[in-house]
Amino acid sequence: MTDIADPRRSAITELMRVPAEEHGELWLKEALQQAIILELATLPPYLCGLWSIADEDQGSDVFRMIHAIVFDEMSHMGLACNMLTTIGGEPQIADGSRVPVYPGPLPGGVQPGLTVSLMGLSKEALDMYSRIERPDDPVTEELEEHTSIGAFYQAILEAFRSRPELIKGTRQLTRNMSSHGAGNNIVRLASLDDVEAAVKIIKEQGEGTAASPENPFPGDTGELAHFYAFREIFHGRRLIRVPGDPTRFDFQGDEIHLPRTLPMGTVPAGGWEQGGVPVPADVRTNLDTFNRHYSALLRFLQGAWRAEQPNTAAQMLGRAVAHMFDLGEPARALMRTPLPDGSGRTYGPEFRYVEDEP
């Protein structure tokens, strides 16, 4: 077995190679820990794209699409945490050896060959986002075989089905997120039916179904699953059923225009300074402020799902949410500060985990 939540290794692909009959309690705890870190890993690149959209275009379709996806992913991470705690596990989120680093692979070996970077919204970024969300069997565009997020969650669900007695309903957090779409609430998972519903939401919001690209749990009518939403923005056209062949989908619908953006550059390995980019005092202040809020957010999330008392857990989750909202201001301040190389690009957040000060 692999070490729990080590995102530097191919832990998910290794877990997927374990025969199904050996998917017991330890396998399930390791798999769910990996799922939590995997969900976390999607948020920084998507947030960089969202924050880079210029103020005047924050009412655009593209802004709304990416904003909806970000909140879906937050909900998915919460549901994955509830899946782990319902079987007696403890999420490991605030750990420098486990927090995803950028640029780098997706945790656990999902989508091998994909390097996930932090950059502003662009065609390159959109292609990366859609590769993160690639389904096993898309209704459009031929894709090579790979270990998908959906396939991994299906293996987790099968393990729950074979060991439903592991579900105890312990340390469950709830949060009403219905304003962001149907199925987005973080809910208590105390039965196999609860887990089945949660996995269905996570899979189908991200990948759609084999028959349809639509998100069955939308915020807005006609909202597509994440993979197809990102491909629509990439192609600049709505995905529709092909006229004359209603069984086939293609990007032949109305135009989608990329919004104006703040031209955030790509964060180098180890952050701007370690990557050889000069960091003035004002940039250092914003980087440090951002990284402190991000790290505190992770610590409060971890503490919330480890707390024994529901009131304490709810308070810690609330503090985590507060730190989440504190990220936007320093991020956008960085995206308005030009890099010194004359490229026209700007700084952006690093999403580096820093230990709490004593």
User: Does residue 307 surpass a pLDDT of 50?
Assistant: yes
In the structure, what pLDDT confidence band is assigned to residue 2 with cuts at 50, 70 and 90? Answer: very low
Instruction: Give the type of residue at 103.
Output: P
In the structure, what pLDDT confidence band is assigned to residue 100 with cuts at 50, 70 and 90? Answer: very high
In the structure, what pLDDT confidence band is assigned to residue 78 with cuts at 50, 70 and 90? Answer: very high
Residues linked to residue 242 through DSSP beta bridges, in sequence order: 245
Residue 101 belongs to some domain of the structure: yes
Residue 78 belongs to some domain of the structure: yes
Residue 140 belongs to some domain of the structure: yes
Q: What is the pLDDT of residue 211?
A: 55
Residue 325 belongs to some domain of the structure: no
Phi and psi, residue 229, nearest 5°? -60, -45
In the structure, what pLDDT confidence band is assigned to residue 213 with cuts at 50, 70 and 90? Answer: confident
Residue 1 belongs to some domain of the structure: no
- Contact (CB, 8 A) for 220 and 204: no
Indicate the number of domains in the chain: 1
User: Does residue 1 surpass a pLDDT of 50?
Assistant: no
Q: What's the average model confidence in pLDDT over 328-347?
A: 97
Residue 254 belongs to some domain of the structure: yes
User: Does residue 149 surpass a pLDDT of 50?
Assistant: yes
Whether the upstream peptide bond of residue 7 has omega within 30° of 0, thus cis, is: no
* Pairing state between β 240-242 and 245-250: antiparallel
Residue 251 belongs to some domain of the structure: yes
Q: What's the average model confidence in pLDDT over 218-231?
A: 82
User: Does residue 145 surpass a pLDDT of 60?
Assistant: no
Q: 86: closest CA among 199, 195, 197, 198?
A: 195
Element (H, E) at 245: strand 245-250
**How many angstroms separate the CA atoms of 198 and 201, rounded?**
5
Q: What is the pLDDT of residue 8?
A: 47
User: Does residue 3 surpass a pLDDT of 50?
Assistant: no
Q: 73: closest CA among 227, 194, 237, 222?
A: 227
Q: Is the dihedral of CA 267, 321, 297, 195 positive or negative?
A: negative
What does 246-290 look like in DSSP terms, one character per residue?
A: EEEEES-SSB-PPPPB--B-PPPTT-TTTTT----HHHHHHHHHH
Total residue length of the chain: 358
Tens digits of residue pLDDT in 310-329: 999 999 999 999 999 999 99
Q: Which of 3-7, 15-19, 282-286 has the highest mean pLDDT?
A: 282-286
* DSSP3 helix / strand / coil % (the chain, rounded to 5): 50, 5, 45
Residues linked to residue 186 through DSSP beta bridges, in sequence order: 175
Rg over CA atoms, the chain: 20
Q: What's the average model confidence in pLDDT over 255-274?
A: 96
Angle between helices 123-132 and 226-235 in degrees, nearest 10: 160
CATH number at residue 34: 1.20.1260.10
The mean-pLDDT minimum among 29-38, 140-149, 163-172, 315-324 falls in 140-149
- Record the tokens describing residue 199, joined without a space: 């996995």
Q: What is the pLDDT of residue 107?
A: 85
Q: What's the average model confidence in pLDDT over 246-256?
A: 89
- Record the tokens describing residue 108, joined without a space: 């656990």
- Contact (CB, 8 A) for 23 and 158: yes
- Chain centroid offset of residue 188 CA: 21
- Contact (CB, 8 A) for 63 and 259: yes
User: Does residue 37 surpass a pLDDT of 60?
Assistant: yes
- Contact (CB, 8 A) for 189 and 180: no
In the structure, what pLDDT confidence band is assigned to residue 53 with cuts at 50, 70 and 90? Answer: very high
In the structure, what pLDDT confidence band is assigned to residue 13 with cuts at 50, 70 and 90? Answer: confident
For the chain, what is the mean pLDDT? 89
Helix (H, G, I), strand (E, B) or coil at 240: strand
Residue 228 belongs to some domain of the structure: yes
Residue 204: which domain range?
Answer: 11-265
User: Does residue 85 surpass a pLDDT of 50?
Assistant: yes
Q: What is the pLDDT of residue 109?
A: 77
Q: What's the average model confidence in pLDDT over 192-217?
A: 81
